[in-house]
Amino acid sequence: MIELVNITKKYAGQEEPAVKGLNLLVRDGESCVLVGPSGCGKSTTLRMINRLIEPTAGTVLIDGKDIRETDPDRLRMGIGYVIQQIGLLPHRTVAENIAIVPRLYGWPKDKIRERTDELLELIGLDPETTRHKYPAQLSGGQMQRVGVARAMAVDPPIMLMDEPFGAVDPIARNHLQDEFLRLQSVMRKTICFVTHDINEAIKMGDQIAILDRGELVQHGSPLEILSNPANDFVCDFIGYDRVVKKLSLCRAGSISRKDFCLIRESELPAAAKKMEEQRAEVSFLVDGKGVPRGMLTAKWLKDNGSAFTPKELKALASQGHKGFIQEDTLLRDALSLLLELDLDYLGVLKGETLCGAVSMADIRQYASGKEGD
Amino acid sequence: MSTISFFMDNIAFISKYAAAHFSLIFTAVIISLLLWLPVGVLVSRSERLANAVLGIANTLYCIPSLALFSFLVTIPAFGLGRKSALLALVIYAMMPLVRNVYQGIKVVDKNVIEAARGMGMNSWRILREIQLPLAAPVIFAGFRITVVMTTGVAAIAAFIGEKNLGRLITVGMNGYNVDMIVTGALLISLIAILLDTILGFFERLIIPRGLRIHRG
Ligand SMILES: Nc1ncnc2c1ncn2[C@@H]1O[C@H](COP(=O)(O)OP(=O)(O)OP(=O)(O)O)[C@@H](O)[C@H]1O
Ligand SMILES: [Mg+2]
């Protein structure tokens, strides 16, 4: 647990402090993203947690203990630190770079070697071919990975990451973020993560702390912040697509409804009746193996249904044959598909089987709801 | 031709002069390294100290060697001879050595140092394992300049009584012995060029492997 209590930092010669009276709590196993425009004091805040900078006033506590009670080098050895520029030692191999902190702890050689290989595997680099390379022989993305691996070498419970994926192209960044989230879901480290990219904050943070000119303007979960921005600054910082961003926090499975019914091709003429009986708003056409082939909505049938022959009904139902998503699809992507296919409903699949339906109205309701009810 | 026969006829005392020359170079360079390398490291810790020390080094470096030798011999504690010669050489070595150590350490990527500090390396370890290895090529370049410069300036110490290869020139000048002058001038030049070439070879070896690799 990291606690910042009333932290202020004023650099020599500065009129306005870089960080003003900041209070922040990061719970164990939680990742807190510090986000804000350039110069708002994110890096300063982060570097006060491992004493690379001493605050002008205030206290930083780790697990309830004032960090000033620990020798700075000792303190830092126990906290993973990743920076945007990575800072790999250019004259040391990948393995030697990863071994830095284990060596400070005096681990035996074979233990270090084992751990190095384990970490290289973990971050998706082949130990055989990468171990003896020098940083100059790596791509930007590979260097970032090595930087992260190096910070995790002794498995520290706390990681401080200052724009760790800032130096790579967007595609590589996305990939690194996904991989890191996958690791974090297992490791459950306490993480302080700095970025100036709100999308990265939303993606990476359990909690987001928005800073503006050295002050904390809002602290909360991504959903809280996107649902209730504290002020105009936060609104502007999030951008006009605030609601669409919110849709990327929720997966289709969690808002899908169960009031749908399944119909076979032979049942098409009786679809309206079946749906009425089952009080379903939508029915999905499935083939003999249960594979979805299309859909019909109650509203649509009510308006036009009786006028069509079974063959025409099948053709119409088939128009929705692409309208199926997996339950872990983000609502943002679901919305995009609804718009693209011009449908009112999407079928939600769990693997091969239909498990629910999501409507345009459901998404609208989620988007406008406060606090994600 | 007569130069060669002069050299052959006098090889005994010429080699004595050469030995004295080398011993002066060697002693001066050793003392300079022991003194100026730590000073270079020290001033890299503080910008203000660095400015002051490098300013002094620069000023001293500007003093013409003949003038510096002359000043020193007037100081009773030094007088004519080796003490003054050594002191002058060590003073001249300050500039290339301190400056190169300082610059070598300063140009090490700040981010590398920040990352190392952030991982819990102490300053001593950072100096030993990061700054010095990465600064080694620049420091070595300063060492190379020092050796070559010392070879030349040591010859001028013949004016204040050093019996080294420079003496072939001073004595040769007095009696206008052309063969003697040429022998002295040639030998001093050859030694300087030879030392520089040898050190140049080592300079390439001292670049850390990771830095010798270029991308592509
Ligand atoms: N060592 C320093 N000395 C003086 N002022 C500093 C120092 N470091 C940072 N500052 C100032 O403090 C403020 C906050 O800097 P900080 O590096 O924390 O910003 P940041 O939020 O990390 O910005 P960025 O997104 O650009 O990295 C800035 O105005 C900066 O100019
Ligand atoms: Mg920053």
pLDDT tens digit string along A236-281? 999 999 999 999 999 999 999 988 988 888 888 888 888 888 888 8
pLDDT tens-digit series, residues B39-91: 999 999 999 999 999 999 999 999 999 999 999 999 888 888 889 999 999 99
CB-nearest partner of A136 from B121, B129, B215: B215
Q: Tokens 């384990």 appear where? A: A118
* Continuous H helices in chain A: 42-49, 72-77, 94-98, 100-104, 109-122, 127-130, 140-151, 170-187, 198-204, 222-227, 232-238, 242-247, 252-255, 271-278, 298-304, 310-318, 331-341, 360-368
> Which of the four pLDDT bands, split at 50, 70 and 90, describes residue A306?
low
Query: Residue A141 Cα, ligand 2 centroid: separation in angstroms?
Result: 20
Task: Judge whether residue A370 has pLDDT over 80.
Answer: no
Whether B216 and chain A come into contact, CB under 8 Å, resolves to no
CA dist., res. A144 & res. A84, Å (int): 8
Which residue owns the Cα nearest ligand 1 atom 9? Answer: A44
Does the predicted interface ipTM exceed a cut of 0.90?
no
**Is the CB of A196 within 6 Å of ligand 1?**
yes
Q: Check A91 against B119: CB less than 8 A apart.
A: no
- Identify the band that residue A23 occupies on the pLDDT scale cut at 50, 70 and 90: very high
Q: Determine whether the shortest distance from the Cβ of A16 to ligand 1 is under 6 A.
A: no
User: What pTM did the predictor assign?
Assistant: 0.87
What does the alpha-carbon distance between residue A33 and residue A8 come to, in Å, rounded to a whole number? 19
* Facing B112 at nearest CB: one of A50, A73, A89: A89
- In chain B, the residue whose alpha carbon lies closest to the alpha carbon of A47 is B118
Residue B215 three-state SS:
coil
Average pLDDT over every residue of A48-73: 96
In this complex, which of B118, B129, B213 lies closest to A76 when CB atoms are compared?
B118
Residues of chain A contacting B, Cβ within 8 Å: 50, 52, 73-78, 81, 83, 85-93, 100-101, 104, 134-137, 147, 150-151, 160
**B2-211: CATH topology:** MetI-like fold (1.10.3720)
* CATH fold of A2-248: Rossmann fold (3.40.50)
Q: Which CATH architecture has domain A252-368?
A: Roll (3.10)
Residue A36 CA to residue A212 CA, distance in Å, equals 6
Low-confidence ranges of chain B (pLDDT < 50): 216
CB spacing of B118 vs A50 below 8 angstroms: yes
User: In which residue are the tokens 């670049």 written?
Assistant: B207
> Where does residue A72 rank: exposed (0-12), middle (13-18), buried (19+ CB within 10 A)?
middle
- The confidence score (pLDDT) of residue A372 equals 43
Q: Is the pLDDT of residue A346 over 80?
A: yes
CB contact under 8 A, B120 and A74: yes
User: pLDDT grade, residue A373 (50/70/90)?
Assistant: very low
Q: Does the CB atom of residue A85 touch ligand 1 within 6 A?
A: no
pLDDT for B62 equals 95
Are A243 and A262 a contacting pair, CB within 8 Å? no
Atom 31 (ligand 1): residue with closest C-alpha?
A39
Residue A9 CA, closest ligand 1 atom number: 12
DSSP string, A136-185: GGS-HHHHHHHHHHHHTTT--SEEEEESTTTTS-HHHHHHHHHHHHHHHH
pLDDT at A185: 94
Asked whether the predicted pLDDT for residue A40 surpasses 70, the reply is: yes
| Residue of chain A minimizing CA distance to B134 | A91
Q: How far apart are alpha carbons B37 and B94 in whole angstroms?
A: 9
pLDDT of amino acid B216:
45
pLDDT for the residue A168: 87
A101 → closest Cβ in B112, B120, B213: B120
Specify the pLDDT at position A305: 56
Between the alpha carbon of residue B148 and those of residues A163, A313, B85, B197, the distances in Å are 48, 97, 16, 10
* Dist. CA B131 → ligand 2 center (Å): 24
3-state SS assignment for residue A297: strand
B116 touches A at CB < 8 Å: yes
| Cα separation, A176 vs A144, whole angstroms | 9
Ligand nearest to the CA of A35: 1
Closest chain A residue to B214, measured at CA: A136
Q: Is B122 on the interface with A (CB under 8 A)?
A: yes
The C-alpha atoms of residue B83 and residue B160 are separated, in whole angstroms, by: 10
Domain boundaries, chain B: 2-211
* Adjacent-strand bridge partners of A194: A34, A162
CA A203 – ligand 1 centroid, Å: 24
Answer whether A41 contacts ligand 1 (Cβ < 6 A). yes
Which ligand places an atom closest to the C-alpha of A196?
1
- DSSP category for residue A263: E
C-alpha A308 to ligand 1 mean position (Å): 69
